[in-house]
Amino acid sequence: MLFDLIAIPFGWVMWAIYQVVHNYGLSILIFTVFVKIITLRSTYKMQVNQARMGLLSGRLAKLRKSFANNQQRFQEEQNRLYTEEGVNPSAGCLSSLLTMFLLFGVYRVVLKPLTFILRVDANTLKQAQAELTKFLGDNKAEINSLKARPELIMLKYRNTPGAFGDMSGFAEKISKFNVKIFGIDLTAIPTFHPKNGWTLAAFMLVAVPVAAALVQLAMSMISQSHSKKSNPDNPAQSSCMMNAMIYLAPLMTIYFGMIMPAGLAWYWLWNSIFSLIVTLLLYKYLSGERLLSINEKEKQKQLAKGPSWMQRMMEQSAQYQAQQNGRAGEGNRTRYADGDDGMSRKERAEYEKKLIEAARKRAALKYGESLPEEEDSDEES
């Protein structure tokens, strides 16, 4: 698969880290720092674009108010403003998509420590999964977990006699894999009903997904607060969907963190912590006079490149929509009484006369006929 191709180079990085630290949890932590460093440029571009759009929030609010009853005109003026200021509204999305694309590969590396760290071949893993499935018997819940996250579940049974049949070499290899950090077994699944009572290890297992969710919640709330300050008039900031996502993502983290081996939540925790640190530092950096200076440099750079493909598409869409509306208006226009639309009856007649003349000219050009002679608009009938 495509994401496996991305995972291969990251897998070698994870393998190299483990050769130095000999600890799965510490390897994940260092690996997360590495990923944040290589995606920092993309994150910076996304934050710069958001900050620059925030500088235009006041002017956009005026446009939104001026054309409250004409959404098409508002979009045209908004696109014109973006073009004049050298702002590419799609730039942040492209950076975000690139980062997400890379993170899918990272995610696979974290979920497949036997493949990428211990370098166990695919056939051996397939055989080991089949043996463990037999060993589990009627334990459907565990078998389903094995199907979803096979390598993490296999590590969970690394010290269980008979779990892998006569694959003694495989069992011995994974039994030496160091999966504990700060007393937490990253192959164990958190539970609110620990067999040996609430030991420190049992408490820490539950604390990891909860802590990951809390950090995610903090980052979402900080990001939303910053967005509201920089762009208070953006209607998307107060949307129900946006508010729901702030709480839904942390709840999903707790849910999956409580049904999957702790190694997954351990990665989420450190990824969220480093993401929060990077976000706060960029908010601090992209402010005041420095932001204005960066905005001017980016503006000149973008203007030199010309309109982005997204802006060109928006312009073409607006032109097409305007043409369609004009044609529809020509066939369905009705006369108004004085004052109904701000025109007198005479002004309305002149306006409609010009529309008819324009339509005749377009038809003549389309079918290769000679253009009709101009009529004197001031001529009395």
204 confidence band (pLDDT: 50, 70, 90): very high
Rounded average pLDDT over 165-192:
88
Predicted pLDDT of residue 259:
85
Least confident of 150-154, 172-176, 232-236, 275-279: 232-236
Predicted pLDDT of residue 237:
53
Q: What percent of the chain has pLDDT over 70?
A: 75
Lookup: tokens for 258 = 């409580």
Above 80 in pLDDT, residue 263? yes
Predicted pLDDT of residue 361:
62
Please spell the DSSP secondary structure of 271-337, one letter per residue. HHHHHHHHHHHHHHHSSHHHHHHHHHHHHHHHHHH-S-HHHHHHHHHHHHHHHHHHHHHHHH-----
Predicted pLDDT of residue 337:
43
- How far is 290 from 167, CA to CA, in rounded Å? 62
Predicted pLDDT of residue 352:
67
Predicted pLDDT of residue 280:
94
Q: What is the 3-state secondary structure (H, E, C) of 235-251?
A: HHHHCHHHHHHHHHHHH
Q: Which residue has the higher pLDDT, 342 or 54?
A: 54
Q: Which residue has the higher pLDDT, 254 or 244?
A: 254
Above 70 in pLDDT, residue 236? no
Domain residue ranges in the chain: 2-118+177-292, 348-374
Rounded average pLDDT over 298-314:
70
Predicted pLDDT of residue 319:
59
Task: Let me know: does 44 contact 282? Beta carbons within 8 Å.
Answer: yes
Predicted pLDDT of residue 81:
86
Task: Let me know: does 15 contact 8? Beta carbons within 8 Å.
Answer: no
Lookup: tokens for 15 = 């393998």
Above 50 in pLDDT, residue 354? yes
User: What's this model's pTM, rounded to 2 decimal places?
Assistant: 0.71
- How far is 111 from 151, CA to CA, in rounded Å? 7
Q: Please, what is the angle between helix 200-230 and helix 240-259, to 10°?
A: 160
What is the pLDDT of the chain when averaged over all its residues? 80
Task: Encode pLDDT of 125-140 as tens digits.
Answer: 999 999 999 999 888 8
Predicted pLDDT of residue 305:
72
Task: Encode pLDDT of 46-84 as tens digits.
Answer: 889 888 888 888 888 888 888 888 888 888 888 888 888
Predicted pLDDT of residue 270:
94
Predicted pLDDT of residue 141:
85
- How far is 368 from 366, CA to CA, in rounded Å? 6
Task: Let me know: does 187 contact 154? Beta carbons within 8 Å.
Answer: no
